[in-house]
């Protein structure tokens, strides 16, 4: 009887051994129990953290894809109702995996009906930008032009909260954080300048952290935060993504600056070091906050 009890206990103990979260998600054989405390073979090959969580439930990707498709349909209908033309790439049968869609920016579509976007060099002031330096990395005027053009065509097109005539020269003087936000986002995805991203990342995080440590008094800083939320910086682990924090800061700063309220006639909107923009810029920025905070 004693041996039967032990056998039952051992059998119960074996049944309690679970595969790691990654193997359970993708329904593959897991040898975590045999290799513990080392990671299982699958996680070791992929360089992942091998975690066993009894509360973990596999994500149903079919259901997730259906939800995303439904949300995109609702967004299209909302944009159409408000007469806003922002092309959204459709999800088709041969669409890339979701993580690929999240990881890379939208690709220009010949069939899309984009809004009119002037090039970064449409203003004569591009010749006055000169070389710019962040940390130990210097960018010449041509590189700045390339990165701003890339941002206009692959990022601004899908989230147009900036003034349509924004320029590198204006931003480098009025809001260095927004200037370098455009540079860092573009450099990550630019085929020719992608090598700049790593060298710019740490000094960019430093100026971003410095901006967050002070009271935000400019709509341009809020716009920078919103773009970082939409195209987040590269992180090693998902739970370390600060995008939600940035979004919360942007929303609170917008409320503090009164972007949710119509501009009062004759209101001095540029008091001291405060800049809240004109009525259209306020509206675009506040809509951007609402959009990102409800995703």
36 and 127 share a domain? no
Residues 54 and 83 in one domain: no
Kindly report the CA angle at 133 between 151 and 288, in degrees rounded to 5?
A: 35
Same domain, yes or no: 169 and 53: no
Check if the beta carbon of residue 164 is closer than 8 Å to that of residue 118. yes
Q: For residues 179 and 235, give the distance between their C-alpha atoms in angstroms, rounded to a whole number.
A: 21
Q: Which helix or strand (DSSP H or E) is residue 168 part of?
A: helix 168-174
The model carries a pTM of 0.57
**24 and 167 fall within a common domain:** no
Indicate if 161 and 280 belong to the same structural domain.
Answer: yes
Residue 110 lies in a domain: no
Cα angle 22, 24, 28; round to 5: 90
Write phi, then psi, for 75 (nearest 5 degrees): -65, -45
Q: pLDDT tens-digit profile of 113-158?
A: 444 444 444 444 444 577 888 989 989 999 999 999 999 999 998 8
The C-alpha torsion from 5 through 9 and 12 to 14, rounded to 10°, is -130
**Rounded Cα distance, 231 and 253, in Å:** 20
Tell me the per-residue pLDDT of 155-192, one tens digit each, with 9 for 90 and over: 998 899 998 888 888 898 899 999 999 999 999 989 89
Distance between CA 108 and CA 89 in Å, rounded? 9
Residue 207 placed within a domain: yes
pLDDT-derived band of residue 205, with 50, 70 and 90 as boundaries?
A: very high
Is the omega angle on the peptide bond into residue 37 within 30 degrees of 0, that is, cis? yes
11 is a domain residue: no
Structural domains in the chain (count): 3
Contact 221, 249 (CB under 8 A): no
Give the end-to-end CA distance of the chain in Å, rounded to a whole number: 58
∠ CA(50), CA(55), CA(61), 5° rounding?
A: 75
119 and 84 both lie in a single domain? no
55 CA to centre of own chain: 28
Classify residue 2: in a domain, yes or no.
no
| Per-residue pLDDT reduced to its tens digit, 227-242 | 999 998 887 666 667 8
253 and 155 both lie in a single domain:
yes
**pLDDT tens digits for range 212-224:** 988 898 999 999 9
| Same domain? 177 vs 283 | yes
Structural domain boundaries, residue 86: 61-103
> How many angstroms separate the CA atoms of 49 and 219, rounded?
40
Assigned domain for 266 exists: yes
């Amino acid at each position: 009887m004693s041996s039967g009890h032990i056998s039952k206990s051992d059998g119960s103990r074996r049944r309690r051994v679970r595969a790691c979260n990654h193997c359970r998600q993708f329904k593959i054989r897991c040898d975590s129990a045999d290799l513990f405390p080392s990671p299982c073979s699958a996680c070791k090959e992929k360089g992942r953290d091998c975690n066993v969580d009894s509360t973990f439930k596999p994500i149903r990707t079919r259901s997730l894809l259906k939800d995303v498709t439904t949300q995109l349909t609702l967004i299209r209908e909302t944009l159409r109702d408000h007469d806003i033309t922002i092309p959204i790439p459709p999800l088709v049968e041969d669409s890339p995996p979701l993580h690929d869609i999240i990881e890379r920016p939208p690709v220009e579509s010949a069939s899309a009906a984009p809004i009119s976007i002037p090039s970064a060099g449409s203003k004569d002031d591009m010749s006055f930008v000169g070389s710019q330096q962040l940390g130990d990395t210097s960018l010449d005027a041509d590189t700045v032009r390339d990165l701003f053009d890339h941002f206009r065509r692959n990022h601004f097109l899908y989230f147009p909260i900036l003034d349509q005539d924004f320029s590198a020269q204006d931003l480098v003087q009025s809001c260095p954080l927004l200037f370098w936000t455009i540079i860092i986002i573009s450099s990550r995805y630019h085929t020719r300048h992608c090598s700049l991203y790593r060298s710019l990342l740490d000094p960019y995080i430093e100026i971003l952290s410095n901006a967050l440590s002070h009271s935000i008094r400019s709509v341009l800083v809020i716009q920078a935060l919103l773009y970082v939320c939409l195209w987040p910086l590269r992180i090693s682990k998902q739970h370390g993504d600060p995008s939600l924090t940035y979004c919360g800061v942007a929303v609170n700063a917008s409320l503090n600056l009164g972007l949710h309220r119509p501009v009062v006639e004759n209101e001095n909107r540029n008091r001291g070091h405060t800049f809240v923009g004109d009525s259209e810029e306020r509206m675009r920025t506040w809509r951007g906050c609402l959009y990102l905070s409800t995703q």
